[in-house]
C-alpha cells in the first residue's frame, strides 16, 4: 500500500518540508519559496491545535493537577501529592470496576465487531446480491438505528423491558410458558452485568456494520471470483479474502469501540447506577460518584486520569499495530 | 526564526481571542434589580408546586415592576451541581435545596449560603417553624444540622408512613395492624395467600428506609443524634442496627418483600402500589397527593407501629445563595410562602404545612396526615433519613441494602461496610 507521505514526495518533488534543498540550481529562489509554503501549512493546524489545547490538553492537565489534591469541589484544594493514587492502588471497588470494564469492552467492542463483520458479509454477499442493494441498505439502516437513539432514551426503554414486574421480557417469557426463565434482570448481581452487556451489544452492532459494509465495497471482486473459481467455500472466502482485505476497518472499529467502552457511562447511569451492590460499576461511573456524590473531586480526578492514560496507551498500541499491519 | 516567532504570535493571539470569546459566552447572572431568579424542583401538580406557583403570583402582585424568573430544575440536577453553580456568577437569587449535613450543611460550611439568622428573627419565621422542623434549617460552623445559624427556611414538613390498600385488606380478611406484632401477623397472612405485602424499591431510597425504620424501633433521640449529628461515636454493630439489618434480610427471605425488587426504582414501587398489586407501601408523605389522585381503591395510612422514632423532618429548604444579587427580594418571597393563604393551599393540596390554619384544611385525609405529623413532631419523633450524615452515603446505602436483599453479603458485612463509609465521610 502506498503511504500518503510517499505520494506527496513523488507528486511534488522538492516541496516536502523534510526533503533536503536541491544541491544545485538557484539557491536564492528555492530558499525564498520554502518558508512561504511552510507557514500556510502551519496555519492550517492552528484551529485544530487550539481546539486540542482548549478541549483536551488543558482540561487533562487541570484534571491531573486536581488529582494531586484533596478537594470537595469548592474552596481551596489541599495538595496531597500522590496520596489519591496510593489509595486507588488499594481500592477494591476501583479494581472491581475495572474488571467490569473488561466485560463492557467485550460487549461494546469485541462482540459487536464480530457480529458486525458476519452481518456485513451476509448483507453484502447474500442479501445484496439476492434481494438487491436497496434491501441490504434498508436492513443496514435498521441495524444502525440504535446508534441514532440517545443513550438515555434507549436506556430507559430497556429498563422498562428488563423490569422484574411488568417488564416486556418477563411478560414475553411468561406468555411463552417459560416462567422459570423470568428473572430480575437488572437487580440480580449475577445477571445485571450480562443484562447491561446485552443492551450494549444491541446498541453497538450498527457502528461496525456500517464501517464494514463500506469497507467491503472497496474489496476487488476479482479476488472473490478467483477464490470461488478455485472452489473456496463462502466461509473460506470470508476468512481468507474478506477479513484480510478489510483489516484496516476492523482496527478502526475495535479501536473506536474499545475507547467508547472505557468511557461507557450513560448505560450504567441509566440502567443500574452501578448496582446492584456495585455489580455493574465501571471506572467512569466510579469517577462520577466520587466527583458529585462523595464530593471527593481529587479522588475522582485520579480515577479519571488513570482512565485517560489507559485510553491513550491503548490508542497508541492499536495505532502502532495498525500501521505495522499496513506496512506488512 | 522570525517566521516561527510570527506563527507563535499568531497562535497566542488566537488563543487570547478564544479565551475572550469564551469569557463573553456566559451571562452575568441575575444582576437586574427587578428580577427575582428562582429555582425549584417541585412538580407543578405537587402540593408544593401548587403553593409555590400561588406564591409567585402573590409576589408579583405585591411587587409591581418586579418579575419572577422561575427555572424548573430536577432534584438530581440541583443535587449534583449545586456547589459548582453556587460558586459561580450564575447562582440564582433563591433556590430550593435538600436538607441535611451532606447537602445544605456542606454548602453552608463552604460559605456558599447566606446566613439567614437576622432575617429569620426579624420576620418572625422562627416563631412559625416548629422546633423539631427547625433542626434541618440550622447548621453550625462544621455544617452539622441543629446548629446555631439559619441557612435555610423550610415551609413544609414530611415523614414516612404506611399507605395501605383497604380493599386488599378486606378481600384477604386481614385486620389493619395497630401494633408491630399485628403488622408481622398481617404480612404472614398475605404471604400465606400468595400476596407480597410490601412494595419496595432496592435501587432507590425505599429499601434503606425499611432498614433504618426497623433500627429506629430500638432507638431513641440520643441514638439518632449520635448518628445524624455526631454527638457520640456510632457503632453499626449495636443492637438497633443489627436488629434493623437482620430483620430486613429476614423479611426478604420470608417473602414480605419481593426479591425481584432489588433493581426496582421508587417510581416502579409506587406505581405498583397504586395499581393495587401490593397491600402496603412504606414511604414518604411526598406520595400523598399522587396516591390520592391515582389510586382507584379505598386507601388510608398509619404511622409505623410501636416506634417512638420515624423517618421525617422539615421539608426542603429555601436557601439564598451567597452570590444572590437580590437578597431582599428573596427574603420577601420566603415571607410570602409563610403566609396563611399559601400554607393553607399547600395543606389542602396534600402537603404538610408548618404554619397553616388548622381550620382551613378541609380534606379529611390531609387533616389526618397533618395531625399524624404534628403528633410525631410534638413527641420529638422525627429521625431524619439514613443517608443524611455523610456525603455520598445514599449510594452506599443503596448498594449495601441491595447486597442484603440478594444475599451477597451478610447483615454483619453490610453493617461493617456502612460503618467504614460513615467513618470515612465524617467531617474532619
Residue A153 pLDDT exceeds 50? yes
Residue B350 pLDDT exceeds 50? yes
A295 three-state secondary structure: coil
Please give the grid coordinates belonging to residue B120: 429569620
d(CA B159, CA B155): 14
Closest Cα of chain B to A310: distance in Å?
27
Band (B95; pLDDT cuts 50, 70, 90): very high
* Low-confidence winner among A45-59, A250-264, B80-94, B224-238 (lowest mean pLDDT): B80-94
Percent share of chain A, pLDDT over 90 = 46
Residue of B nearest to A186 (CA): B263
Set of chain B residues whose Cβ sits within 8 Å of the Cβ of A53: 15
Closest Cα of chain A to B18: distance in Å?
9
Instruction: Tell the burial category of A58 from Cβ atoms under 10 Å away from its Cβ (0-12, 13-18, 19+).
Output: exposed
Band (B231; pLDDT cuts 50, 70, 90): very high
Band (A328; pLDDT cuts 50, 70, 90): low
* Low-confidence winner among A161-170, A319-328, B3-12, B393-402 (lowest mean pLDDT): B3-12
- Cβ contact A128:A136 at 8 Å: yes
Band (A100; pLDDT cuts 50, 70, 90): very high
| Mean of pLDDT over chain B | 88
Residue A43 pLDDT: 85
Band (A36; pLDDT cuts 50, 70, 90): low
Residue A37 pLDDT: 57
Closest Cα of chain B to A208: distance in Å?
31
Backbone phi, psi, residue A226, to 5°? -60, -45
For the stretch A57-64, contacts whose Cβ atoms lie closer than 8 Å and that sit 24 or more positions apart, written own/partner, are A60/A305, A60/A308, A63/A301, A63/A304, A63/A305, A63/A308, A64/A301, A64/A305
Contact assignment for A165 to B260 by CB distance below 8 Å: yes
Closest Cα of chain B to A32: distance in Å?
12
Band (A164; pLDDT cuts 50, 70, 90): confident
Residue A38 pLDDT: 61
Instruction: Tell the burial category of B262 from Cβ atoms under 10 Å away from its Cβ (0-12, 13-18, 19+).
Output: buried
Residue B216 pLDDT exceeds 60? yes
Q: Are strands B156-165 and B352-353 parallel, antiparallel or unpaired?
A: antiparallel
Residue B20 pLDDT: 39
On whether any CB of chain B is under 8 Å from the CB of A31, the answer is no
Residue range B143-193, pLDDT digits in tens: 999 999 999 999 999 999 999 999 999 999 999 999 999 999 999 999 999
Residue range A261-277, pLDDT digits in tens: 988 899 899 999 888 88
Residue A14 pLDDT: 34
Q: For the whole model, what pTM was predicted?
A: 0.78
Residue A52 pLDDT exceeds 70? yes
Residue A133 pLDDT exceeds 50? yes
Residue A26 pLDDT: 41
Q: What is the mean pLDDT of residues A125-153?
A: 90
Nearest to B205 by CA among B250, B239, B256, B160: B160
Please give the grid coordinates belonging to residue A91: 481500592
d(CA B332, CA B328): 6
Band (A7; pLDDT cuts 50, 70, 90): very low
Residue B31 pLDDT: 64
DSSP letter, residue A218: T
A49, A50, A87, A276: best to mutate for the B interface, most B CBs within 10 A: A276
ipTM of the predicted structure? 0.70
Contact assignment for B261 to A187 by CB distance below 8 Å: yes
Residue A292 pLDDT: 82
Instruction: Tell the burial category of B123 from Cβ atoms under 10 Å away from its Cβ (0-12, 13-18, 19+).
Output: middle
Closest Cα of chain A to B266: distance in Å?
13
Residue A61 pLDDT exceeds 80? yes
Degrees to nearest 5, angle at CA A147 with A142 and A149: 95
Q: Which residues pair with B300 in a beta bridge?
A: B164
Residue B139 pLDDT exceeds 90? yes
Residue range B291-347, pLDDT digits in tens: 988 999 999 999 999 999 999 998 999 999 998 989 999 999 999 999 999 999 998
* Segment (H or E) for B96: strand B94-97
Closest Cα of chain A to B391: distance in Å?
5
d(CA A9, CA B268): 66
Residue B260, CA distances (Å) to A132, A164, B199, B255 in order:
47, 6, 11, 10
Set of chain B residues whose Cβ sits within 8 Å of the Cβ of A294: 391-392, 425
- Cβ contact A279:A249 at 8 Å: no
Percent share of chain B, pLDDT over 90 = 62
Band (A35; pLDDT cuts 50, 70, 90): low
On whether any CB of chain B is under 8 Å from the CB of A50, the answer is yes
Backbone phi, psi, residue B246, to 5°? -70, -40
Residue range B7-65, pLDDT digits in tens: 444 444 444 444 333 333 344 444 678 899 999 988 777 888 889 999 999 999 999 99
- Cβ contact A300:A111 at 8 Å: no
Contact assignment for A184 to B260 by CB distance below 8 Å: yes
Residue A192 pLDDT exceeds 50? yes
Band (A30; pLDDT cuts 50, 70, 90): very low
Q: How far is CA A41 from the centre of its chain?
A: 30
Set of chain B residues whose Cβ sits within 8 Å of the Cβ of A187: 202-203, 260-264, 402, 406
Residue matched to cell numbers 480526578? A301
Residue B56 pLDDT: 95
Backbone phi, psi, residue B385, to 5°? -130, 150
Residue of B nearest to A41 (CA): B7
Residue B4 pLDDT: 41
Contact assignment for B264 to A49 by CB distance below 8 Å: no
Q: Which residues on chain B place their C-beta less than 8 Å from a C-beta of chain A? A: 3, 6-7, 10-11, 14-15, 18, 22, 80-81, 83-84, 86-87, 106, 110-112, 202-203, 258-264, 268, 272, 277, 391-392, 394-395, 398-400, 402-403, 405-406, 408-409, 425
Residue A27 pLDDT exceeds 80? no
B138 three-state secondary structure: strand
On whether any CB of chain B is under 8 Å from the CB of A296, the answer is yes
On whether any CB of chain B is under 8 Å from the CB of A21, the answer is no
Residue A10 pLDDT: 34
d(CA B145, CA B101): 6
d(CA B418, CA B424): 10
| Mean of pLDDT over chain A | 84
On whether any CB of chain B is under 8 Å from the CB of A273, the answer is yes
Amino acid at each position: 500500500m502506498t503511504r500518503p507521505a510517499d505520494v506527496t514526495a513523488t507528486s511534488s518533488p522538492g516541496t516536502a518540508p523534510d526533503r533536503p534543498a536541491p544541491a544545485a540550481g538557484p539557491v536564492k529562489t528555492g530558499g525564498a519559496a520554502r518558508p512561504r509554503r511552510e507557514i500556510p501549512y502551519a496555519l492550517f493546524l492552528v484551529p485544530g491545535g487550539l481546539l486540542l489545547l482548549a478541549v483536551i490538553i488543558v482540561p487533562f492537565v487541570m484534571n491531573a493537577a486536581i488529582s494531586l489534591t484533596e478537594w470537595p469541589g469548592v474552596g481551596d484544594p489541599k495538595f496531597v501529592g500522590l496520596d489519591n493514587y496510593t489509595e486507588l492502588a488499594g481500592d477494591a471497588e476501583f479494581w472491581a470496576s475495572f474488571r467490569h470494564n473488561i466485560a463492557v469492552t467485550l460487549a461494546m467492542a469485541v462482540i459487536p465487531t464480530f457480529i458486525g463483520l458476519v452481518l456485513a458479509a451476509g448483507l453484502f454477499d447474500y442479501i445484496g446480491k439476492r434481494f438487491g442493494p436497496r434491501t441490504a441498505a434498508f436492513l443496514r439502516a435498521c441495524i444502525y438505528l440504535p446508534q441514532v437513539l440517545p443513550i438515555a432514551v434507549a436506556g430507559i426503554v430497556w429498563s422498562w423491558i428488563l423490569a422484574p414486574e411488568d417488564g416486556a421480557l418477563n411478560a414475553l417469557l411468561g406468555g411463552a410458558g417459560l416462567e422459570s426463565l423470568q428473572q430480575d434482570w437488572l437487580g440480580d448481581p449475577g445477571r445485571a452485568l450480562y443484562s447491561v452487556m446485552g443492551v450494549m451489544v444491541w446498541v453497538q452492532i450498527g457502528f461496525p456494520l456500517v464501517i464494514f459494509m463500506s469497507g467491503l465495497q472497496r474489496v476487488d471482486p476479482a479476488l472473490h471470483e478467483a477464490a470461488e473459481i478455485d472452489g473456496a467455500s463462502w466461509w473460506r472466502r470470508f476468512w481468507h479474502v474478506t477479513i484480510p482485505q478489510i483489516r484496516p476497518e476492523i482496527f478502526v472499529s475495535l479501536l473506536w469501540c474499545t475507547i467508547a467502552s472505557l468511557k461507557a457511562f450513560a448505560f450504567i447511569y441509566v440502567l443500574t447506577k452501578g448496582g446492584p451492590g456495585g455489580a455493574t460499576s465501571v471506572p467512569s461511573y466510579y469517577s462520577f460518584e466520587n466527583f458529585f456524590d462523595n464530593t471527593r473531586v481529587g479522588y475522582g480526578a485520579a480515577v479519571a486520569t488513570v482512565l485517560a492514560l489507559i485510553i491513550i496507551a491503548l490508542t497508541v498500541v492499536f495505532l502502532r499495530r495498525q500501521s505495522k499491519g499496513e506496512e506488512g | 526564526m522570525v517566521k516561527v516567532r510570527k506563527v507563535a504570535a499568531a497562535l497566542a493571539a488566537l488563543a487570547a481571542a478564544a479565551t475572550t470569546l469564551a469569557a463573553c459566552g456566559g451571562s452575568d447572572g441575575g444582576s437586574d434589580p427587578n428580577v427575582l431568579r428562582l429555582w425549584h424542583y417541585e412538580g407543578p401538580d405537587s402540593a408544593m408546586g401548587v403553593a409555590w406557583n400561588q406564591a409567585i403570583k402573590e409576589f408579583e402582585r405585591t411587587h409591581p415592576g418586579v418579575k419572577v424568573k422561575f427555572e424548573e430544575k430536577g432534584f438530581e440536577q440541583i443535587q449534583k451541581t449545586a456547589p459548582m453553580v453556587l460558586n459561580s456568577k450564575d447562582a440564582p437569587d433563591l433556590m430550593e435545596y435538600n436538607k441535611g449535613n451532606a447537602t445544605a450543611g456542606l454548602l453552608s460550611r463552604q460559605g456558599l449560603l447566606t446566613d439567614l439568622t437576622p432575617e429569620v428573627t426579624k420576620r418572625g419565621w422562627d416563631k412559625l417553624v416548629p422546633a423539631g422542623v427547625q433542626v434541618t434549617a440550622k447548621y453550625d460552623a462544621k455544617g452539622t444540622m441543629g446548629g446555631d445559624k439559619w441557612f435555610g427556611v423550610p415551609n413544609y414538613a414530611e415523614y414516612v408512613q404506611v399507605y395501605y390498600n383497604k380493599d386488599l385488606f378486606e378481600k384477604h380478611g386481614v385486620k389493619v395492624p395497630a401494633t408491630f406484632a399485628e403488622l408481622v401477623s398481617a404480612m404472614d397472612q398475605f404471604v400465606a395467600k400468595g400476596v407480597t405485602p410490601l412494595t419496595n424499591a432496592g435501587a432507590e431510597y425505599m429499601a434503606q428506609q425499611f432498614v433504618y425504620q426497623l433500627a429506629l424501633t430500638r432507638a431513641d433521640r440520643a441514638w439518632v443524634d449520635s448518628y445524624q449529628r455526631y454527638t457520640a461515636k456510632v457503632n453499626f454493630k449495636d443492637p438497633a442496627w443489627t436488629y434493623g439489618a437482620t430483620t430486613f434480610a429476614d423479611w426478604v427471605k420470608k417473602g414480605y418483600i419481593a426479591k425481584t425488587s432489588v433493581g426496582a426504582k421508587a417510581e416502579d414501587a409506587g406505581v405498583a402500589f397504586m395499581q393495587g398489586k401490593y397491600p402496603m407501601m412504606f414511604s414518604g408523605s411526598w406520595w400523598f397527593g399522587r396516591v390520592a389522585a391515582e389510586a382507584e381503591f379505598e386507601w388510608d395510612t398509619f404511622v409505623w407501629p410501636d416506634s417512638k422514632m420515624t423517618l421525617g423532618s422539615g421539608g426542603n429548604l429555601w436557601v439564598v445563595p451567597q452570590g444572590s444579587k437580590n437578597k431582599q427580594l428573596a427574603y420577601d418571597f420566603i415571607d410570602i410562602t409563610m403566609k396563611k393563604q399559601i400554607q393553607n393551599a399547600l395543606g389542602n393540596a396534600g402537603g404538610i404545612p408548618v404554619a397553616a390554619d388548622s381550620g382551613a384544611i378541609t380534606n379529611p385525609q390531609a387533616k389526618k396526615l397533618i395531625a399524624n405529623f404534628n403528633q410525631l413532631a410534638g413527641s420529638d419523633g422525627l429521625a431524619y433519613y439514613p443517608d443524611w450524615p455523610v456525603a455520598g452515603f445514599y449510594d452506599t446505602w443503596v448498594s449495601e441494602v441491595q447486597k442484603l436483599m440478594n444475599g451477597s453479603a451478610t447483615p454483619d458485612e453490610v453493617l461493617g461496610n456502612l460503618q467504614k463509609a460513615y467513618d470515612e465521610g465524617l467531617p474532619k
